[in-house]
Structure 1
Amino acid sequence: MTTVKAHTVLPDALIREIQLYIQGETIYIPKKDSSHAKWGSQSGTRKRLDERNAAIRASFEKGRTILQLADEYFLSIESIKKIVYKK
């Protein structure tokens, strides 16, 4: 998140209107919903987790136990259950 001075990007009339509600404070203006990227999509983390979960499911289908998978992937038994039983 970057900080931008209001007078460099907003018209004076809008700044005066905002000053009716808040003055001298920092205000966060969120992105439009349409411009939000899903969590992990830009860094590749989401893809890596999806690939890991697919590997866990495949190993489970081949006979690995939930306890073995938890030890192998350093996850809790409950986390492994959520992954393998997810529809």
Structure 2
Amino acid sequence: MSYKKGAEVLPAHLLKEVQKYIDGGLIYIPKKSPRVGWGYLNGSRKSLEKRNMKIFQSFKSGMPIKEIAQSYYLSEETIKKIVYGKKQL
């Protein structure tokens, strides 16, 4: 996020109106477009979903949690969260 001077981006009449409410302070103006969730734009979320699906399939096929954790360099607790949290499968 970058700061812009109000006098440079707002018309004079609008700047005077805003100054009635907040004179000399900082104000955040949100984007019009809805916020995109974490990892959707750069593909991180999709990558993690694929990884988690592979982990779940390994568990479902009988691979021990300890072995899965070692092969994915994750803790056993993280693997448990992934495999026991897959209620929809």
How does the TM-score come out when normalised to structure 2?
Answer: 0.76
1:68 is displaced (CA, Å) by: 0.9
* Counterparts of 2:66 and 2:78, CA distance in 1: 11
1:2 is displaced (CA, Å) by: 2.6
Count residues with an aligned counterpart: 86
Per-residue CA deviations over 1:11-69 (Å, capped at 9, x if unaligned) read 3343334434544454333334x520110000110010000000100111111111111
Q: Over aligned residues, Cα RMSD in angstroms?
A: 1.9
| Residue aligning to 2:34 | 35
| Residue aligning to 2:54 | 55
My pick for the range that moved more, 67-76 or 47-56, is: 67-76
Give 1:1-87 correspondences, 5 Å limit: 1-32=1-32, 34-86=33-85, 87=87
* Counterparts of 1:12 and 1:59, CA distance in 2: 63
> How many percent of aligned residue pairs carry the same amino acid?
50
